[in-house]
Structure formats: C-alpha cells, structure tokens
Structure 1
Amino acid sequence: MIKLLDNAFANLSPDEVLNSIERFGFQCDGRLLALNSYENRVYRVGLADGQSLVAKFYRPHRWTDDAILEEHQFTEELADLEIPVVAPMNVDGQTLLKTEAHRIALFINRGGRAPDLESDEHLEQLGRFMGRIHRVSQSGVFAFRPTLDSNSFGYEPREFILQNGFIPADLVDAYTSLTEQLLKEVALCYERAGEVRMIRTHGDCHPSNILWTDDGPHIVDFDDARMAPAVQDLWMFLAGDRADQTVALDAVLAGYTEFCDFDARELHLIEALRTLRLIHYFGWLAKRWDDPAFKLAFPWFNTQRCWEDHILSLREQAAVLHEEPLVWYG
C-alpha cells in the first residue's frame, strides 16, 4: 500500500490532478500550471468561472494527518484575526481532502511579488506582520509538529549524507570534521543565548513565501511550520553584509515590537540557524534524490563541484559563527 501511494505521487498526471479537484465539486476548465514546489506537488488550477485555485498534493509519509491539520488550524486562527495569511479552503467542513491515493489542500489563488529587502518601509511592514503572527503564536503550542533543533536540522541530515555515500571519497574527511565542528559551535551559540522561548513559527519564512501587493504582504506555505525561536521567522529578511543586516534588523524589529516583544538574546542564534539551514538543505536534497522531480530541478546536486562548493560555504559559515552577534539599537 505504501508503494502504491508513493507511485501515485511520483506519477501524478494532469488528468489525475483535474479529476481529483472535480471530485470536490469544482468544475475545471483545463488550465493547469505546476508551481515552484518540490516537497509537495502544487498546481494552479483554472476553473470554469474564470477563477483559479491552488491545489497542494501532499508528499506521502512526510506529515501525519494530525500534523497537517495542526498547520491548517494555525493558519485559520491567524486568518480569523484578519492577519493576511493564505489559509486552506474549507470544503464541506474539511480542509484536508482525500482521494484513494492523495491528501490535498486547496487555496484561493493569490498573486504578488517578492518584498524589497533593501526598502526600510518593506522591512518595517514585514516586522509588523511577523509581530502580529507571533503574538498569536505564543498563545499555544504545536502538539504534532516538530521543533527546530540541532538534531533534526544538523545531526540527522549530516548522518544521512555520510551513511548513504553522497560525499565523494576525497571529501569525506573534510565534510565530517567540518560539520562536527560547526555543530559544536551551534551548541555554543545556543548556550550564549540561554533558555529562549520556543513558539509556533512559519519555519521557512524566506522572501519567496511572502507575496507583496499594493495593500502590503501576505504569507503563504506554512508547510514547514514548527516550534522554533521567534528569530527563525526574521533572520531570512536580513540580506547583505553585516552593516546592511544591522540596518535591516533595526527596521524589522521597529515594526515587530509594535505588536510583540523581542528577546535580544535570540540574536546569538541567527548564524546558528543559518548554519543548520545550510546542513539541512543538502540533507533534504539527498533524502529526496530518488524522486525524479528533484533530479530535473537540481541537476547540479551530487556532483564533485557541488560538494566542493558546499564545503567552502560551510567553511565561510564557520568563520561567521565566531563573530559577535548583530546589535539591535532599538
């Protein structure tokens, strides 16, 4: 049964997508566009009335039903408070829709562009946006979704890469020793931060998950929502060198603290979280490498040059981990 579901996901056809949507009472007009998503299969689907919706077909076995519903409930909680997030559509009382082979969520199709991370106005507005979300986040916890930590984002992907022979033989020692040292440095960053609060976060709040319109931003794709420090939803808005990041941090937190307090000790975690993201990203690609969609989308991965560049990036990150954290002048 598991193999059947995996095959159904890997071989999901346009006809099956459209037929699945129509089973839930929608009339499709044949327009179908695969969107930039690899963990799940996500499509923009045209409807007969000229409108369109976004359909997400969940990757089997990644999340339990309870974990998916917890994500949905969180976004619905935010939407009910008029916080501009894109929550799943409710179809006959359900947000997690099922066919024999697939679990599906439908969303209103929202357009927009990426935020301008060089604009203080955009950064401050993003801060207000995240402050409103985190004010709600703190009122509850995830029971079925994981916590972002060094095990899940560091040690586990590292071991998967090493145990499954992804690293070229001449680079194994370098990768092994470097990642071991990096994870020790990450632990020291957490020690310096002290006991910071874990809250419900978006978890993957990079600019591509922010859709900016003339009315301001709205956020999409809570698929990676998890318990994490608040700064996990903020640090990816900080671009450029240290001076640029300091200016951006001040703008983001100026907006954020209008709605939610910020614990400055979490600034010790920014580079630690960036390090974990670098390690986790390559582990994620490795774990999905048997999916044909990944080989098409990431042809550069798992080459000699790829691993050489990755090790170079990790070495550069090792140097940054020894620097003093960013300073917030607010």
Structure 2
Amino acid sequence: MSDQPFSQRISVSPLTQIDQAAKQILSANVLPKKLTPIYQQQIAKLREMCEKRIQTYWPAQLRPVHGDSHRSNLMLHQGQFHLLDFDDCQNGVAVQDLWLHLTQTESPRQQLSEIIEGYENYLPFETRELDLIDVFKSVRVINYAAWLQSRWSDPAFVKAFPWFGSEEYWLNHLNELKNCELEWGNISR
C-alpha cells in the first residue's frame, strides 16, 4: 500500500458524481413526472449537505484507493482476504473504501474501529474522514439508480431488473435518499 497518489487515474469528485448521475436520471424519462420536483429537491438538499461536509472534512491530499471495495470484491483464500476488481481504482480518501465494509450491526462504531485498526497496519487513517461517510453513501445511492438507468435499454437487463421503471422503485429510491439525509453523522459520532 502506498499513500502516493496515482499518476494515471482519476481523483474522486463526489459533487461531480452527484451532478452527473442526477442529470442522467432526469434526462432519461424513467422517473415518473409527478416525482421529478421531489427528486430534484432531494438531490439539491443532499448535494448541499455533501458540499458542506467536503469543505470541512476533505483531506489535504488524496491517496490511492480501490474505489469499489465492497464485500463482493473480497475473496478469502487460504485464510487471507484478497481484493478483486481494480477497474475503479482512483485517488480518493480511505473512508471511501472502508465504510463499504460496515454491516447492519448493533455496534457499527465498534466495527468501524476494528476496520480502521486493520487499515492502520498499513497506513495511517485520518479520523476527520469519518465525517465523509455519509457523502459517499449518498453518492452510492444516487449512482446506483443512474447505473440501472444506463443499462435499461438492454433487454436482458430489463428482465433481470423488471422493477426498475416502476413508480414503486422511484418512491423507494426517494425514501433511500431521505434516509441518507437522516443518517448523517450517526456512525461517525
């Protein structure tokens, strides 16, 4: 592991990701028209909250991160975990990868503490990054909907995700965005 930024990879930009994903969704006519103003309002609110967090807690220097370090990209082999799927590697912040390993437990702070302890066996962890967890959660929720939308023209995809175009999906998505707003700070504090 190195803390020297990649020279040939992108750097994470949460606000750009939010803007691009929201623009893609709004221009694709998949969101029911009656939900469009509610969606725009919710995105604007989350974007503003993210911007404030970024201005306050963004580190001075980005470092190499996996970029998509979730459980499906881990493989256990002979008692050791190995990361897979490095196509999303980028310059970012450590918490960008670490929060994805939190599970719904009764003690997420304890779990987070253990994850950070393991991380610090390789590199120091900047605790101020903890206040960016909700930024990355929000980005992930918005980007997932945009990812689904971008594949909606593939007939195999439509069969695999038939619920995507429904009003129920978008109501659930709006609720998930609202939950991002409500969760701000619950884990890191």
TM-score by length of 1: 0.54
With a CA cutoff of 8 Å and minimum separation of 6, indicate the structure with the bigger relative contact order: 2
Which of these residues, 274, 283, 293, is aligned with residue 146 of structure 2? 283
- How far apart, in 2, do the equivalents of 1:297 and 1:152 lie? 29
Q: CA deviation at 1:302?
A: 1.6
Q: CA deviation at 1:291?
A: 2.3
The structure whose residues are more often strand, as a share, is 1
1:161 aligns with 2:25: yes
Letter in 1 for 2:46: L
- How far apart, in 2, do the equivalents of 1:316 and 1:173 lie? 18
> CA 1:221/1:141 → structure 2, altered by over 3 Å: closer, same or farther?
same
Which of these residues, 53, 57, 66, is aligned with residue 193 of structure 1? 57
Which of these residues, 12, 15, 36, is aligned with residue 148 of structure 1? 12
Deviating runs (4+, > 6 A) in structure 1?
Answer: none
Helix, strand or coil: the match of 1:171? helix
Letter in 2 for 1:179: I
Q: Deviations over 1:147-169 (max 9, x none)?
A: 22134420001011111211101
Larger radius of gyration between Structure 1 and Structure 2? 1
> CA 1:277/1:175 → structure 2, altered by over 3 Å: closer, same or farther?
same
Q: Deviations over 1:179-222 (max 9, x none)?
A: 11101001111122043421221111110110123421111111
1:258 aligns with 2:121: yes
1:326 aligns with 2:183: no
Helix, strand or coil: the match of 2:85? coil
Q: CA deviation at 1:139?
A: 2.9
Letter in 1 for 2:115: V
Letter in 1 for 2:133: I
Q: Which residue of 1 aligns with 2:98?
A: 234
Q: CA deviation at 1:285?
A: 1.2
Structure 2: segments with no counterpart, 5+ residues: none
Q: Which residue of 2 aligns with 1:267?
A: 130
- How far apart, in 1, do the equivalents of 2:133 and 2:120 lie? 18
Q: Deviations over 1:49-103 (max 9, x none)?
A: xxxxxxxxxxxxxxxxxxxxxxxxxxxxxxxxxxxxxxxxxxxxxxxxxxxxxxx
Bigger shift: residues 215-224 or 260-269: 215-224
- How far apart, in 1, do the equivalents of 2:108 and 2:150 lie? 32
Q: CA deviation at 1:325?
A: 5.5
Tell me the percent identity: 28
Helix, strand or coil: the match of 1:234? helix
Matches within 5 A, 1:73-92: none
Q: Which residue of 2 aligns with 1:83?
A: none
CA contact (8 A) 1:201 1:225 kept: yes
TM-score by length of 2: 0.92
Which of these residues, 288, 295, 304, is aligned with residue 167 of structure 2? 304
1:139 aligns with 2:139: no
Which of these residues, 173, 178, 200, is aligned with residue 37 of structure 2? 173
> CA 1:151/1:317 → structure 2, altered by over 3 Å: closer, same or farther?
closer
CA contact (8 A) 2:109 2:187 kept: no
> CA 1:292/1:172 → structure 2, altered by over 3 Å: closer, same or farther?
same
CA contact (8 A) 2:12 2:90 kept: yes
> CA 1:195/1:202 → structure 2, altered by over 3 Å: closer, same or farther?
closer
- How far apart, in 2, do the equivalents of 1:150 and 1:203 lie? 12
- How far apart, in 1, do the equivalents of 2:157 and 2:39 lie? 23
> How many pairs were matched up?
189
Letter in 2 for 1:235: W
